[in-house]
Chains A and B, each alone.
Chain A
Amino acid sequence: MRFGVAVFPGTWSDRDCAHAVELAGHEPVMLWHKEHDLRGVDCVILPGGFSYGDYLRCGAVARFAPLMESVSAFAARGGLVWGICNGFQILCEAHLLPGALTRNASLQFRCEPSWLRVENTDSPFTSGCAPRDILEIPVSHGEGRYVAGIDVLDMLEASGRVAFRYVNRDGSAVGGESPNGSMRDIAGILNKEGNVLGMMPHPERACEPLLGSADGMRLFQCVAALVGEHGVFSSAGIR
């Protein structure tokens, strides 16, 4: 299948995402921020980086890129959109996902391993995982603290839209002590239809045992398997 990888000026996980897609045996298609054409890809990855420098607010400028108009329309048609790190920030700024990502509670950048508990196994990204599987996937960000109103948080939980939660290596709850201090330890969320995923950790950095973990590869393979089975994914909502 064809994974589109968005390239904004300041994006730096584009090459890593393309590498992961190739490792998974699929074709990466680089999508330039100034263009509208999604070139027939089956899934769009919005990778990590500092799009347009992120000097204003992370993702705040990128949401206005020509490419994002097409990505929003693609998502509305049920196309798979996967925001990683800066991509998650962009999706929140673009209102494709609720909430916001603010400065880490430590006020410092954090690059380290993190452990994620899979909270939803119905999504096209996570259906290859078993409920409560633990994935080791590193984080690398300065502004990854997920915040939202209590009503939004409750709604996300009630509708199964929390995709991943930070946990300790042994699977126990971190109780707020995640790498960024996210509310309810949220590491990744889905949109209502389940075709848009935003996550702060970097699965593309966890696709080879040589690099410490291959757990991220499970997500890439899951997407690919689903698309391979059904053609372009068309969602009918999760649950």
Chain B
Amino acid sequence: MSGTVAGQHFSPSAAQLAIVALTPGEYADAVRLLGRPPNELELGMLGALWSEHCSYKTSKPLLRRLPTESPRVLQGPGENAGAVDIGRGLACVFKIESHNHPSAIEPYQGAATGVGGILRDVFTMGARPVALLDSLRFGQLSSPRQRHLFDGVVAGIGGYGNCIGVPTVGGEVYFDDSYSDNCIVNAMCVGVVEQRNLTRARAAGAGNLVLLVGADTGRDGIHGATFASVQLDGASHERRPAVQVGNPFLEKCLLEACLELAGQAGVVAMQDLGAAGLCGSAAELAHRGGCGIEIDVARVARRERGMTPYEVMLSESQERMLILVEPDRAAFVQEIFERWDLHSEVIGAVNDTGRFVVRDDGHGVCDLRLDVLVDGAAERQLEGTRPRSVDRLLRAEPMSRKPPWNAERALLELLASPNIGSRRSIYRRYDHQVGDDTLIGPGGDAALVRLRGTNAALALSTDGNSRYAALDPRVGAMIAVCEAARNVIAVGAVPLAITDCLNFGNPDKPEVYWQLEQAVAGIAEACGALEIPVVSGNVSLYNDTEGRSIDPTVVIGMVGLLDEIERRCGAGFSTDNDIVAIVGLIEPELGGSEYQRIAFGVNEGPRPSLDLVLEAGVQGFVREAIARGLLRSAHDCAEGGLAVAIAEACLIGGRGARIGIDELAQSNKNAAWEAAILFGECQSRFVVSFPRSSLVELHELSSRSGVPFRGLGATGGSRILVTGAIDVDLQEARRAYDGALAVA
């Protein structure tokens, strides 16, 4: 069948299989499906495309459970990014992706190329990127190594985003021992395109030409996809050649040229080169369209001499794209790239054979069935086991411990916690304004980015608290979805869709697989209840070093739409003598809280409870109140609980508040009870402020909807005052908050 392919009598050793991360069983599958043993190049290509990173062989059976449809969805999972209808003939294109493994080895380039990769996923679809967000996890900053990783990652995100001119408008970061060996770097990109110019990565039309555009191909990043699918170990730093180097300038030119192409006649498809390089991109492009493809590696421009076909096919050199173009339009397309001083070369063509043929100056070196290469990896049906350690954690009684501080001190300690304090020292290093559309930048609940030329804006947020997920991955994932929705609602927008990034340990451990299973179920349940589809996402497994796995880390990237920017809402108390109120309940819950972590150094007890009916009610209440112009501020109540949410609203607004909480006045309650009321992370709550004139209507809204709502006090003054518990000067609070990420 493929008699022209050289070197097919090749029998890989166990060590060679290990390099391409195929199990002996998978190798046997490949031989059976192909009807012959693969040669060395084919084996490398199979290893890359059958890796977890490309094939999702472990997570795919679970991911099918996610809801992916709504009337708004234009493109669900399966393309480079998801797309939703945002009206006005426009589509919002977005996706989140992990770059954990490279960042752990080389933080600057790992993070930078993570940003570069997710940008390409979006402009590949013809959309102009309008915003970047990121979600980061590290160990404790007191460790020099963690500080090095943190500084490198922040510099890398800024280095790429600032240079290419796409604003980094939001994100989140947490520090926890669980990430000491495996940092998490997730980047999200959001773009906007006219719906008629939405471009897919789906090959069609035998005879159409495959154009490789952008950077020359070097030896960097070979086996990057397989590297991302194995555990890190003591020798991982030796894999530095598997980390790519970014060139944001080149990508900026590529971006502009590709956007000129989108919607042009004769441009059939665009596909960026990401994981598994040319091999992965060409295979996916052809297979999605049910085509075949033939390319000649001799026509690929190289950065260095002597590269083998194997190296050319598997290189993950950055800033490259494939463009599929009708033959008579190739000259026109190449002229556009020429104008941007970008090299482009016809390296092959699509056909209708369903095969992937690679030649080296005409000589056949690979001939694989595309269905085998792209879809042949056997899905792994793993069994999850609930870890017993969870039972011990859940049995703990958080309120049995004696608080080390009074409430006032505890508030200052929480504001100074790296997990809560001001992120300004990070986001001032990111250009968050370029584009002239950032209405709310970093530091609010969600970022708000205007849709140029309209009166509408996109609300964007990334969220995921892994402490809850460590105690209960299902509800932890549900909370991540709910919190992201709350953040989007707090600025006045309606949630449209999410992209998710699932960062987990080694799924071959039944306990980790159980976490993954539970988390996916949780996302599905929350998305179902809130009617929010998942349109794109990414799974990063094997975040595991020498047997230690990270806590389950579900990051949700949410996109919402605000139709009238005049209706936007901020998080800070904006006016003196407004009423401060809470939407939602006040319950004493300390499990999984930041308070518990900093006061007792533990994460235990029942995680916060979540009632999706109450959650949907609270969200609906705040949405309606903002839409009717009743509120002057709305802030999601998250880490640090009610007291921190109030303090943050004071700090953002630059004014104090006088608060009374009835529960604190109840006699026979101890200090732990007080801490649980003030700092417990009870879910489904907003702290809002409004003028007296709104009070009647808000009460009516509450009684009509049955959503709990009650006044707590008033804004004004220069102190954060909670009767009987806290009396802190705003300046003192600000010092604590602003210093949270300072070098220790």
Contacts from A to B (Cβ < 8 Å) = 9-10, 12-13, 15-16, 19-20, 48-50, 52-55, 108-112, 138, 140, 142, 202, 204-205, 207-208, 210-211
A142 to B506 Cα, complex, angstroms: 40
Nearest neighbor of B340 in chain A, beta-carbon distance: A9
- Give the distance to chain B from A52, nearest Cβ to Cβ, in Å: 7
* Contact A10 B249, CB 8 Å, known A53-B163, A109-B430: yes
- Give the distance to chain B from A122, nearest Cβ to Cβ, in Å: 29
A81 to B158 Cα, complex, angstroms: 29
- Let me know if B36 is at the binding interface, CB within 8 A: no
Please tell me if the beta carbons of B249 and A19 are within 8 angstroms of each other in the complex: no
- Let me know if B6 is at the binding interface, CB within 8 A: no
Q: A12-B434, A53-B249, A109-B158 are in contact. List 9 more A-B contacts (CB 8 A).
A: A12-B164, A13-B165, A15-B436, A53-B163, A53-B248, A53-B250, A110-B428, A111-B427, A210-B565
CB-contact partner of B433 in A108, A140, A142, under 8 A: A140
- Give the distance to chain B from A184, nearest Cβ to Cβ, in Å: 23
* Contact A211 B436, CB 8 Å, known A10-B249, A109-B431: yes
- Give the distance to chain A from B571, nearest Cβ to Cβ, in Å: 16
Q: CB-CB < 8 A to B431: which residues of A?
A: 109, 111, 140
* Contact A111 B252, CB 8 Å, known A140-B434, A205-B436: no
CB-contact partner of A142 in B162, B253, B341, under 8 A: B162
CB-contact partner of A9 in B253, B429, B434, B435, under 8 A: B253
- Let me know if B247 is at the binding interface, CB within 8 A: yes
Please tell me if the beta carbons of A19 and B436 are within 8 angstroms of each other in the complex: yes
Please tell me if the beta carbons of A13 and B434 are within 8 angstroms of each other in the complex: yes
Number of A-B contacts (CB under 8 A): 80
Nearest neighbor of B568 in chain A, beta-carbon distance: A210
- Let me know if B124 is at the binding interface, CB within 8 A: no
* Contact A110 B565, CB 8 Å, known A12-B434, A204-B436: no
A109 to B168 Cα, complex, angstroms: 13
Nearest neighbor of A110 in chain B, beta-carbon distance: B428
Please tell me if the beta carbons of B249 and A52 are within 8 angstroms of each other in the complex: yes
A53 to B162 Cα, complex, angstroms: 11
- Let me know if B728 is at the binding interface, CB within 8 A: no
A211 to B434 Cα, complex, angstroms: 11
A12 to B162 Cα, complex, angstroms: 10
Chain B window 323-359, contacts with chain A (Cβ cutoff 8 Å), 1 for yes, 0 for no: 0000000000000000011000000000000000000
Most chain A C-beta atoms within 10 Å of own C-beta, residue among B164, B431, B436: B436
Please tell me if the beta carbons of A110 and B429 are within 8 angstroms of each other in the complex: yes
- Give the distance to chain A from B605, nearest Cβ to Cβ, in Å: 40
- Let me know if B438 is at the binding interface, CB within 8 A: yes
- Let me know if B432 is at the binding interface, CB within 8 A: yes
- Let me know if B439 is at the binding interface, CB within 8 A: yes
A48 to B433 Cα, complex, angstroms: 12
The interface size of chain B toward A, counting residues with CB under 8 Å, comes to: 29
Nearest neighbor of A34 in chain B, beta-carbon distance: B339
- Give the distance to chain B from A144, nearest Cβ to Cβ, in Å: 13
Within 8 A of A (CB), among B419-444: 427-436, 438-439
CB-contact partner of A111 in B247, B428, B439, B450, under 8 A: B428
CB-contact partner of A10 in B163, B435, B439, under 8 A: B163
A53 to B212 Cα, complex, angstroms: 22
Nearest neighbor of B450 in chain A, beta-carbon distance: A210
Q: CB-CB < 8 A to B429: which residues of A?
A: 108-111
A57 to B429 Cα, complex, angstroms: 20
Q: CB-CB < 8 A to B435: which residues of A?
A: 15-16
Please tell me if the beta carbons of B439 and A211 are within 8 angstroms of each other in the complex: yes
A207 to B249 Cα, complex, angstroms: 27
Q: List 21 A-B contacts (CB under 8 A).
A: A9-B249, A9-B252, A9-B253, A10-B163, A13-B165, A13-B434, A15-B435, A16-B436, A19-B436, A20-B436, A50-B165, A53-B247, A53-B249, A109-B428, A111-B432, A111-B433, A140-B433, A142-B162, A202-B433, A205-B433, A211-B439
- Give the distance to chain B from A136, nearest Cβ to Cβ, in Å: 13
A112 to B441 Cα, complex, angstroms: 11
Nearest neighbor of A112 in chain B, beta-carbon distance: B428
- Give the distance to chain A from B166, nearest Cβ to Cβ, in Å: 8
A205 to B164 Cα, complex, angstroms: 17
- Give the distance to chain B from A69, nearest Cβ to Cβ, in Å: 18
A15 to B341 Cα, complex, angstroms: 20
Q: CB-CB < 8 A to B248: which residues of A?
A: 50, 53
Q: CB-CB < 8 A to A55: which residues of B?
A: 249
Chain B window 127-158, contacts with chain A (Cβ cutoff 8 Å), 1 for yes, 0 for no: 00000000000000000000000000001001
A234 to B713 Cα, complex, angstroms: 62
Nearest neighbor of A48 in chain B, beta-carbon distance: B434
Nearest neighbor of B442 in chain A, beta-carbon distance: A111
- Give the distance to chain B from A61, nearest Cβ to Cβ, in Å: 10
Most chain B C-beta atoms within 10 Å of own C-beta, residue among A9, A49, A202: A9
Nearest neighbor of B158 in chain A, beta-carbon distance: A109
Q: CB-CB < 8 A to B439: which residues of A?
A: 210-211
A15 to B252 Cα, complex, angstroms: 14
Nearest neighbor of B430 in chain A, beta-carbon distance: A111
- Give the distance to chain A from B155, nearest Cβ to Cβ, in Å: 8
CB-contact partner of A109 in B162, B164, B450, under 8 A: B162
A55 to B439 Cα, complex, angstroms: 31
Nearest neighbor of B438 in chain A, beta-carbon distance: A211
Nearest neighbor of B256 in chain A, beta-carbon distance: A9
A204 to B435 Cα, complex, angstroms: 10
Nearest neighbor of B453 in chain A, beta-carbon distance: A19
A142 to B158 Cα, complex, angstroms: 10
A195 to B452 Cα, complex, angstroms: 32
Q: CB-CB < 8 A to A211: which residues of B?
A: 433, 436, 438-439
A52 to B341 Cα, complex, angstroms: 11
CB-contact partner of B165 in A49, A54, A108, A110, under 8 A: A49
Q: CB-CB < 8 A to B162: which residues of A?
A: 50, 109, 111, 140, 142
Please tell me if the beta carbons of B436 and A50 are within 8 angstroms of each other in the complex: no
Q: CB-CB < 8 A to A54: which residues of B?
A: 163, 249
A134 to B126 Cα, complex, angstroms: 42
- Give the distance to chain B from A167, nearest Cβ to Cβ, in Å: 19
- Give the distance to chain B from A8, nearest Cβ to Cβ, in Å: 10
Q: CB-CB < 8 A to A48: which residues of B?
A: 434
Q: CB-CB < 8 A to A49: which residues of B?
A: 165
- Give the distance to chain A from B306, nearest Cβ to Cβ, in Å: 26
Please tell me if the beta carbons of A16 and B434 are within 8 angstroms of each other in the complex: yes
Q: CB-CB < 8 A to B428: which residues of A?
A: 108-112
Q: CB-CB < 8 A to A204: which residues of B?
A: 436
A107 to B431 Cα, complex, angstroms: 15
Please tell me if the beta carbons of A138 and B433 are within 8 angstroms of each other in the complex: yes
CB-contact partner of A12 in B155, B247, B252, under 8 A: B252
Chain B window 436-472, contacts with chain A (Cβ cutoff 8 Å), 1 for yes, 0 for no: 1011000000000010100000000000000000000
Chain B window 488-507, contacts with chain A (Cβ cutoff 8 Å), 1 for yes, 0 for no: 00000000000000000000
CB-contact partner of A50 in B249, B438, B565, under 8 A: B249
Q: CB-CB < 8 A to A138: which residues of B?
A: 433
Nearest neighbor of A7 in chain B, beta-carbon distance: B256
A10 to B565 Cα, complex, angstroms: 31
Please tell me if the beta carbons of A50 and B434 are within 8 angstroms of each other in the complex: no
Please tell me if the beta carbons of A12 and B430 are within 8 angstroms of each other in the complex: no
Q: CB-CB < 8 A to A108: which residues of B?
A: 155, 428-429
Among all A-B residue pairs, the 10 with the closest Cβ atoms: A12-B165, A53-B249, A16-B436, A50-B163, A140-B431, A111-B431, A109-B429, A10-B249, A112-B428, A9-B253
Within 8 A of A (CB), among B386-437: 427-436
A204 to B450 Cα, complex, angstroms: 16
Q: CB-CB < 8 A to B252: which residues of A?
A: 9-10, 12, 50
Most chain A C-beta atoms within 10 Å of own C-beta, residue among B253, B433, B438, B450: B433
- Give the distance to chain A from B171, nearest Cβ to Cβ, in Å: 14
Q: CB-CB < 8 A to B340: which residues of A?
A: 9
Most chain A C-beta atoms within 10 Å of own C-beta, residue among B158, B163, B439: B163
Q: CB-CB < 8 A to B250: which residues of A?
A: 53
Q: CB-CB < 8 A to A207: which residues of B?
A: 436
Most chain B C-beta atoms within 10 Å of own C-beta, residue among A12, A15, A19, A52: A12
Q: CB-CB < 8 A to B565: which residues of A?
A: 210
